[in-house]
Structure 1
Amino acid sequence: MDLHIFNPEHDIALAYDVPHLTIPHVAQEMRMNLGFLPAFWAKDGDAVLVDDIKYALKASKQYKGMIADVLFVEKTDLASLPLDGVKPWGWDCRVCAELAENGVAADILPTEGQLADVRRFSDREQTKEMLHAVRKGIEGDTCGESFVATAMDEACSIIRQLGNAVVKAPWSSSGRGVRYVSDAADQPKLSWIRHTLQHQGKVMIEPRYNKMCDFAMEFVSTPDGGVRYCGLSVFKTLNAQYTGNVVGSERFKRDILSRYVSETLLDDIASRLEQNLTAMLSGRYAGEFGVDMMVVAGAEGNRFLLHPCVEINLRRTMGHLALSLYGGDDEHARLMSIVHDVNYQLKLQRIEGEYVNVL
C-alpha cells in the first residue's frame, strides 16, 4: 500500500525550508477541498491522506468510475497503516516532518540529503544551465536566457539591459514569486526584489517575451535512474498563475502546438530533456515532474520560437493530473480547471471549437 498526499503548499515550503510552517489560508483550503485528487492517479488499495474523510468522500463521489478504489485516511490513522511507500505531490521538509511526527516509518521517508537535492533542483537557477544544454545546436528555432543577480545594483543593471524583464524568486508558489518589470520599475516592485534578495539570496531575471502559448512536457524519473517522457500538457495562465489544462489525446495537443512549431522540434526537445535530466537527477530524485515551456513570437513577427525550459517543477503537476484524467476519448477534449466557488473544486468542461482561439 502506497500513501498519496496532495500538498499544494509544497512550493511555499521549499522557499522557507523549515519543518514547521504555518501555511497560507489559500493553500490550507485547497488541501482541504482537493485532498482527494491523488485518487485519480493512485492504484486500487492505496491510501490517500486527507484533512477530513467525510469531506473527501463527498467531494470525490461525482468522479466515481474515474478514480481508484482508495482508502481515505487522516493523520491519526498513519501509524497503523502497512505502508510500502509515500508519494506526495512534492517532497519538502515540512511534509516529511508531518509524516514522521504521525508515525510513518523513517525508512520509507527521504533522508535530509534527498530533501536537500529536491530543493536544490527546484531552484529556478537550474533553468539557466538546462537552457544552455537543451538549446545547443538549435538556437535558431528556440529562445531563452536566464541571469542570476545576488545584489540590488546587479539586478537593476540586468533589467536596464533587457528593457522588459521577468524577475523570479528562486523558490515560490505559482505566480506569487514572479514580477514583470521594465527599466523604469516602480518602487513596490523594486522593494519586492530587495526583499527577495534579503530572504533567498538571489533573483532570476529573464527577457519578457511575446508569449503565444503555454505548455509543458511531463516526465517521470524512475528508481533505476532513467527519465521517461509522459506526455504534453497544454495549459492556460493569467498573470503568471495557472488557470486550466487541456485534457485530451497527445494528438489533439500536438495539433495545437504544431500551428506554431514543428512536431520534429517537439520530439527533439523531449529527447534532449530526457538525456540531460537523467544526468541531473539519476540517483537523486524519483517521481513525477514537469518542465514548463512556451511558444513566443519572434522579433521579426513572421515566425515562432520555442522556449524549452521556462521552469522545472520537481513535483507532480496539474499536467500530470490532466494526463491521469484522459480516458481515451479522442473525440471530445475537455478543459480542466480549479475554481473557487465557496470551496475549491475541480471542473471539467468540453472544449467546443478550436482551443487555440482561446489561448
Structure 2
Amino acid sequence: MRTSSRRLHRFNPGHEAAVGIGQANYTPDAASRRMADDLETLPLWYADSGDSVWITHTEGADQFLDSLPLFLRPDVRLLTADALCRLSADVEGPLLAMPWGLSPDVLAAFERLRRRGAPILVPAWSDALRTLTHRQTAARCLERVLRRLPELPPVAVPRFCTSVGEVVDYVKTCQSPFMLKTPFSCSGRGILTLENASITDPERCWIEGALRRWGVVSIEPKLDKTADFALEFHSDGHGCVTYAGLSVFDTHPRGAFTGARLGDPNRLRGQLPDILRGPLFDCLRTAVTDTLCDTVGRIYSGFLGVDMLVYRRPDGSAAVHPFIELNLRYTMGLVAVELSRRVVHPDAIGRLLIARCPAPGDALRAHQADNRRLPAHFADGRLRAGYLSLVPVTPASLFRAFIEVV
C-alpha cells in the first residue's frame, strides 16, 4: 500500500479553501493556522517508521517525545525547514512530500523548501485533482454507489445551483429542512442550514456571497442523523483502492469533527447501529471501493476517507446515506484507525479527542488536570487506561489532541 520512498509529512488543516481558490498564495484563516501550529506533530502517529515530519515550532517537541514510553515512541523524525535543508540527498535519499491534504498552497511551500536544497520529491498539482475535490465528484460517486446498492432506500443527490433563483425553486418543491454547501468545503465549514422554504435576508446574503466566491452551491434535504461513521481507504494512483479501516466519530451540530472511537475494529463495528451489523456493511464497503477505483483510482495517490451517516426515515426506520463527503486527504478517522492499531490495547475502548481552548494557558491547565485525573496505565506495550496527549502542550497552545481510555 505504500511506496518505497520515505515520506515527509506536514499537517495543514483547512487546505480545502486553497484548493477552491486554486492559488499558491492562499492565506488560511486564523483557526486553521493555529490548529496547524498546535497539532503539527500529529503525523507522528500515522507516519511509517523512517518517515519525517516537517515542523515549524520546536518548543516542547523534544520534551514531548522524551515523555513517551519507549515502546510507544514513533520511529519518526521531527525536522524544521533548516534541518531538512541540511540533509544530504546522497545519504538520505529523497523524501516524498506528503501533506495532510494536497493543495497548490502547500505544494508550493514544499517546492520552496526543495529549491533551498531539501531532498524532497514534490507531487504536481493538477486540474484533475481539483475536480476530484469538488462536491460534484462526491455527488457522482453517490449516484454510482446507489446503483450498486439497490437495496438501500433512495436518498437525494445534491443539486448544484448557480443562482439564488435556483435555490428558491428547489426549496419550494422539496421538503424542508435543507443543507447548502460550498463546493470545496468539508468538516462542517461552508455549510448553511435552511429550516424552511422561506429564505431570510441573512440566508440570502450567505447564498449570494457563496455564489460570488465559488459560482455554485449545492443543496440537499437535511436528514435526521442518528450516527456518523466513515470508511478509510488508500489509492495507489494506478487504479487500485484498498480499504484501510472504519472510523466511528462524533461531530458538532454543524458537522465539525469532535472525536472518534478507538479500539479493536470488530468491537468498533459492534458500536455501529443495528442496520450496519449484518451483511450491509460488507456490501457497502465493496460498493464504495469499486466506485472509488472507477473515479479516483488512476488520478489520486494517497489516503482518503468517505463520510457516511445513519439517519431516521419519516416512518421511524433506520437507513444509511452511503456517500456524504469525499475527503482526498488524511483524515482524523485515519488517525483513529492508526491509533487503534498502534497505541490502544486491543481489550480497551477509547476516544480520540480534539479540543480548542479559549485562551493561552487554558490548554496547558486542562492537560495537567487530565494527567492527574486519568493517569496512563499500559499493558503489553499499549495504553490500557488513562489519558495520553498526542502533541506537545505549551503555555501558548490553544488546541489539544489526545486519547482517553476509561
Q: In the superposition, relative to structure 1, how do residues 184 and 32 fare at CA in structure 2: closer, same or farther (>3 Å)? A: same
After superposing the two structures, state which structure 1 stretch, 169-178 or 29-38, moved more: 169-178
Find out whether 1:152 has 2:157 as its counterpart: no
Instruction: Give the structure 2 partner of residue 36 of structure 1.
Output: 41
Q: What do the CA deviations read for 1:41-99 (whole angstroms, capped 9, x no partner)? A: 11233210111123333445554443422221122333333333111111110001111
Deviation at 1:254, TM superposition (A): 1.3
Q: Distance in 2 between matches of 1:14 and 1:58?
A: 35
Q: In the superposition, relative to structure 1, how do residues 195 and 306 fare at CA in structure 2: closer, same or farther (>3 Å)? A: same
Question: 1:114-263 maps to which residues of 2 (within 5 A)?
Answer: 116-136=127-147, 138-145=149-156, 146-162=158-174, 163-181=176-194, 182-238=196-252, 239-263=254-278
- How high is the sequence identity, in percent, across the aligned residues? 27
Find out whether 1:345 has 2:400 as its counterpart: yes
Q: What do the CA deviations read for 1:261-281 (whole angstroms, capped 9, x no partner)? A: 343111111111111111112
Code of the aligned partner of 1:34: L
Is the contact between residue 40 and residue 67 of structure 1 (CA under 8 Å) also seen in structure 2?
no
Instruction: Give the structure 2 partner of residue 356 of structure 1.
Output: none
Q: Distance in 2 between matches of 1:57 and 1:143?
A: 52
2:135 alignment partner, SS class:
coil
Code of the aligned partner of 2:328: L
Find out whether 1:2 has 2:7 as its counterpart: yes
Is the contact between residue 97 and residue 120 of structure 2 (CA under 8 Å) also seen in structure 1?
no
Q: What do the CA deviations read for 1:117-174 (whole angstroms, capped 9, x no partner)? A: 2221111111221111111253443443211111110011112222211100001242
Is the contact between residue 3 and residue 47 of structure 1 (CA under 8 Å) also seen in structure 2?
yes
**Aligned equivalent of 1:95, options 83, 101, 106:** 106
Instruction: Give the structure 2 partner of residue 46 of structure 1.
Output: 51
Find out whether 1:110 has 2:113 as its counterpart: no
Q: Distance in 2 between matches of 1:214 and 1:254?
A: 12
Q: In the superposition, relative to structure 1, how do residues 160 and 350 fare at CA in structure 2: closer, same or farther (>3 Å)? A: farther
Instruction: Give the structure 2 partner of residue 290 of structure 1.
Output: 305
Q: How many residues align?
A: 348
Instruction: Give the structure 2 partner of residue 329 of structure 1.
Output: 345
Is the contact between residue 5 and residue 89 of structure 1 (CA under 8 Å) also seen in structure 2?
yes
TM-score (norm 1): 0.91
Code of the aligned partner of 1:16: I
Is the contact between residue 78 and residue 103 of structure 1 (CA under 8 Å) also seen in structure 2?
no
Q: What do the CA deviations read for 1:188-228 (whole angstroms, capped 9, x no partner)? A: 22211111111111111111111100110000102442000
| Alignment root-mean-square deviation, CA | 2.0
Q: In the superposition, relative to structure 1, how do residues 268 and 67 fare at CA in structure 2: closer, same or farther (>3 Å)? A: farther
After superposing the two structures, state which structure 1 stretch, 323-332 or 291-300, moved more: 323-332
Is the contact between residue 48 and residue 70 of structure 1 (CA under 8 Å) also seen in structure 2?
yes
Q: In the superposition, relative to structure 1, how do residues 10 and 60 fare at CA in structure 2: closer, same or farther (>3 Å)? A: farther
Which blocks of at least 5 consecutive residues in structure 1 are unaligned? 352-359
Whichever of the two has the greater Rg, that structure is 2
Which blocks of at least 5 consecutive residues in structure 2 are unaligned? 1-5, 361-397
TM-score (norm 2): 0.81
Q: Distance in 2 between matches of 1:57 and 1:176?
A: 33
Q: Which runs of 4+ in 1 moved over 6 A?
A: none
Instruction: Give the structure 2 partner of residue 276 of structure 1.
Output: 291
Is the contact between residue 261 and residue 352 of structure 2 (CA under 8 Å) also seen in structure 1?
yes
Q: Distance in 2 between matches of 1:222 and 1:71?
A: 25
1:256 alignment partner, SS class:
coil
Code of the aligned partner of 1:160: K
Code of the aligned partner of 1:31: A
Q: What do the CA deviations read for 1:309-354 (whole angstroms, capped 9, x no partner)? A: 0000010100000011014623211111111233211121225xxx
Code of the aligned partner of 1:300: D
